[in-house]
Amino acid sequence: MTELPVAVIGAGPVGLAAAANLIERGIAVKVYEAGREAGKNIRAWGHVRLFSPWGFNIAPAARGLLAEAGWEEPDGQAYPTGAELVDGYLAPLAATPSLASVIEYGARITAVGRHGIDKVVSRDREQRPFVLTVVGDDGVTRRDQARAVIDASGTWTSPNPIGAGGLAADGEEALKDRIAYGIPDVSSRDRSTYAGRTTLVIGAGHSAANVLLDLDELSAAEPGTKAIWATRGRDLSRVFGGGGDDQLAARGDLGQRLSRLVAEGRIELVSGFAVTGVREQAGMLVVDGDVGGAGRIIGPVDRIVACTGQRPDLSLTRELRIEFDPWLESARTLGPMIDPNLHSCGSVPPHGHRELAHPEPGFYIAGIKSYGRAPTFLMLTGYEQVRSIAAALAGDLVAADDVRLGLPETGVCKAAPSGDCCGGPAPVEADACCAADAEAKAEGQLGCGCGPARQPEPATSSCCGKAA
Ligand SMILES: Cc1cc2nc3c(=O)[nH]c(=O)nc-3n(C[C@H](O)[C@H](O)[C@H](O)COP(=O)(O)OP(=O)(O)OC[C@H]3O[C@@H](n4cnc5c(N)ncnc54)[C@H](O)[C@@H]3O)c2cc1C
């Protein structure tokens, strides 16, 4: 087993950082990347400007490798676009001699298991190497072995559907050629598709904010361009953000610009709209939904942009013993720390190899995929995750457990030290999940948007009621 490399799935920022950390520790590593270049998923939203400046986006372990290659670090205060992040950081990093020799491009991992045993078998499990099914660009399949696996394959290619219930809306599949999932480049690459047309943008996160702002800009140059914005929730405080209170100024600014667009009536907002179906009518699209129990229609529109987030592809790990948070599909221990029902502050307690471990020893999910469906992941978090995992794989538990993470807060609400959401625990007599929720309800509002508090896990009984 010690002869085998650690397999890293994905050459995004976190996969490359994982490899850099392993190389730093003298551990053999092999990186499998489905695309033809590092940062393939980021390239898909290359026109979007990041809200974290360069200083936040570079993994400490990568700095060493890049410095050796004569790389000049960009101004830490400047904000790159996705494409600039790939061209100015990920591509040079992937091209450093130590990494170039261990990355295989056009190599998609379709399954991971243990050599010779399925997930049911416990005996000698830890002594068995991992087996990865590798499918090349040419369609040829082979199996590689590894001593440990870090899955940093991201979530970008598994978008959530527009159906409010998490299932595809009626008609969604049939009309998907007129639905763009993600962040189309409406100002440039995809301009002709959106210019002079009416687009419905669905979703209430930063992706929706980016598309709506771009459509507004396009409408100034291309008459007839119109945007309608539909959100499932009614409370838009998270996407409008903390403005000047956001510790990432660009993130605060994005929300404020969107808020101004709505206030000035430059886009039509339909909040509380739960999409149930989409259908064609006279060559246009009509979207059916539910607002507070009553049916409502949006349309006709030419196109739909689904900014409804992503979810992890769980098929890869079917033959491994994996434990996910039941609703986020994040690493189990991480769930309560990042649950968007409870937290909107952007901070997460430092976490490393222990929180990211699964019942399958030697297997970790890192990067944005470790957050499952939670939308608040930052690269900085991933860099610290993989530093800790690499240290653990090297047997350096002191370094692995010394996890440090100070994330910039959104300024929307402050987490109490106990992690009890906004402003601390609610007063005992209040039917609320935190102080901010109690205050909002006392003022006659629906609440602050947080969900029911998570119940502690029931204690597990030991075995079958009697000692062996
Ligand atoms: C629009 C947008 C803006 C963002 N802005 C910021 C920001 O400003 N600051 C910030 O810190 N974070 C930001 N994020 C969040 C996050 O940091 C990024 O999504 C980041 O790319 C996550 O890195 P990752 O390495 O975990 O995954 P990814 O970047 O998604 O990389 C995964 C890699 O794995 C490869 N892959 C996938 N499946 C397989 C497979 N089966 N086999 C082999 N390879 C595979 C992919 O091709 C890809 O190269 C943003 C996210 C989005 C979507």
Give the mean pLDDT of 1-6.
91
Helices (H) and strands (E) in the chain, counts: 16, 16
**pLDDT for 25 beyond 80:** yes
Span of 44-53, 123-132, 412-421 with lowest mean pLDDT: 412-421
Tens-digit pLDDT profile for residues 182-236: 999 999 999 999 999 999 999 998 999 999 999 999 999 999 999 999 999 988 8
Distance 56 CA to ligand 1 centre (A): 15
Distance CA 17, CA 63 (A): 10
Residue with tokens 């808020």: 259
Residue with tokens 């007129």: 178
**In 76-114, which positions are buried (b, 16+ CB within 10 angstroms) versus exposed (e)?**
eeebbbbbbbbbbbbebbbebebbeebbebebbbebbbb
Q: Is the CB of 152 under 6 A from ligand 1?
A: yes
pTM listed for this prediction: 0.88
Largest separation between any pair of C-alpha atoms in the chain = 78
Tens-digit pLDDT profile for residues 340-368: 877 666 667 788 999 999 999 999 999 99
Amino acid 415: pLDDT: 40
Strand, helix or coil for residue 299: strand
Q: Which residue has the CA at smallest separation from atom 4 of ligand 1?
A: 50
Q: Is the CB of 342 under 6 A from ligand 1?
A: no
Tens-digit pLDDT profile for residues 267-307: 999 999 999 999 999 999 999 999 989 999 999 999 999 99
Q: Is the CB of 312 under 6 A from ligand 1?
A: no
Confidence of residue 462 (pLDDT cuts 50, 70, 90): very low
Q: What percent of the chain has pLDDT over 90?
A: 75
Dihedral sign from CA coordinates of 439, 440, 444, 447? negative
Amino acid 387: pLDDT: 97
Distance 273 CA to ligand 1 centre (A): 29
Strand, helix or coil for residue 157: coil
Q: Is the CB of 385 under 6 A from ligand 1?
A: no
Confidence of residue 459 (pLDDT cuts 50, 70, 90): very low
Q: Is the CB of 108 under 6 A from ligand 1?
A: yes
Here the tokens at position 48 are: 């979007």
**pLDDT for 239 beyond 90:** no
Span of 144-153, 398-407, 412-421, 432-441 with lowest mean pLDDT: 412-421
Tens-digit pLDDT profile for residues 91-126: 999 999 999 999 999 999 999 999 999 999 999 999
Amino acid letter at 359? P
Average pLDDT of the chain?
A: 89
Q: Is the CB of 254 under 6 A from ligand 1?
A: no
The preferred substitution site among 49, 377, 410 for testing ligand 1, maximizing ligand atoms within 8 Å of CB, is 377
Phi, psi of 392 (to 5 degrees): -65, -40
Q: Which residue has the CA at smallest separation from atom 5 of ligand 1?
A: 50
Distance CA 295, CA 124 (A): 57
Phi, psi of 456 (to 5 degrees): -65, 150
Terminus-to-terminus CA distance in the chain, angstroms?
33
**pLDDT for 46 beyond 60:** yes
Distance CA 328, CA 247 (A): 26
